[in-house]
């Protein structure tokens, strides 16, 4: 494994994102929606660095249909427990790869009529994109490496690493 982003780099970036988001949502309560499992560590750090009041919920998604089809749909294997209508909602993702997960999730959540709906992603691999999707708040753009750590896994291992590593 080769270190890509150190714990310090990650924490500094999470701080920058938290300050920007807190400023943009000043005086409002933000409902954070974490996409399990990968986002759980990022969301825990982000939430604790934010200065606006936050509430938290999680979804877990599975894709179905052909994995090679960019039109592949997603289904909730764990749905939200919170109504979104009228809320300021921020989807929290660890990584955007093909973009399929977030594009579908965004559309599904938008239909629940939140007051606002934004996305924060810690990592983005634009070189892997199959559908057009951009995060409103982004930590790092990275090359097409297979990365682990800080929530990201390889066969469920390495999620607890404090930095982000390229798996060789
Ligand atoms: C990863 C990641 C995103 C998704 C991004 O989750 O956490 O949710 O893939 O990929 P996409 O942009 O190509 O849709 P994964 O399916 O590995 O599940 P996990 O978070 O439980 O590890």
pLDDT 10s digits, 73-119: 788 999 999 999 999 999 999 999 999 999 999 999 999 999 999 99
pLDDT recorded at residue 65: 58
- CA angle (99, 101, 107) in 5-degree steps: 100
Q: Which helix (H) or strand (E) segment is 17 a member of?
A: helix 7-24
Q: Which of 108, 96, 106, 94 is nearest to 159 (CA)?
A: 94
Q: Which positions are annotated as active-site residues? A: 97
CB-CB neighbours of 111 under 10 Å: 9
Query: Cβ(112) to ligand 1 under 6 A?
Result: no
Report how far residue 68's alpha carbon sits from residue 16's, in angstroms, rounded to the nearest whole number: 35
Mean pLDDT of the chain: 94
Task: State if residue 37 touches ligand 1 by the CB under 6 angstroms criterion.
Answer: yes
Whether the per-residue pLDDT at 70 is higher than 90: the answer is: no
**Pairing relationship of beta strands 2-5 and 164-166 according to DSSP bridges:** antiparallel
Residue 26 has pLDDT above 70, yes or no: yes
Give pLDDT, residue 10. Answer: 98
**Cβ of residue 99 lying under 6 Å from some atom of ligand 1:** yes
Mutate to test the pocket of ligand 1, among 34, 37, 38, 100 (most ligand atoms within 8 A of CB): 38
Q: Which has more pLDDT, 11 or 66?
A: 11
pLDDT of residue 71: 57
Q: Is the pLDDT of residue 125 over 80?
A: yes
Q: Is the CB of 88 under 6 A from ligand 1?
A: no
């Amino acid at each position: 494994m080769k270190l890509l982003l150190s714990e310090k780099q990650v924490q500094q970036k999470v701080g920058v994102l938290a300050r920007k988001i807190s400023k943009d949502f000043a005086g409002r309560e933000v409902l954070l929606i974490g996409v399990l499992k990968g986002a759980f560590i990022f969301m825990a750090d982000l939430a604790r660095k934010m200065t606006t009041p936050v509430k938290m919920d999680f979804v877990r998604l599975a894709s179905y249909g052909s994995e090679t089809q960019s039109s592949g749909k997603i289904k909730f294997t764990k749905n939200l427990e919170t109504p979104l209508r009228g809320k300021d909602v921020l989807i929290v993702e660890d990584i955007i790869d093909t973009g399929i997960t977030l594009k579908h999730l965004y559309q599904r959540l938008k239909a629940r009529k939140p007051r606002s709906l934004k996305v924060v992603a810690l990592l983005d691999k634009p070189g892997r994109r199959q559908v057009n999707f951009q995060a409103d708040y982004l930590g790092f753009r990275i090359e097409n490496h297979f990365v682990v750590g800080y929530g990201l896994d390889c066969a469920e291992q390495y999620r607890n690493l404090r930095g982000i590593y390229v798996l060789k």
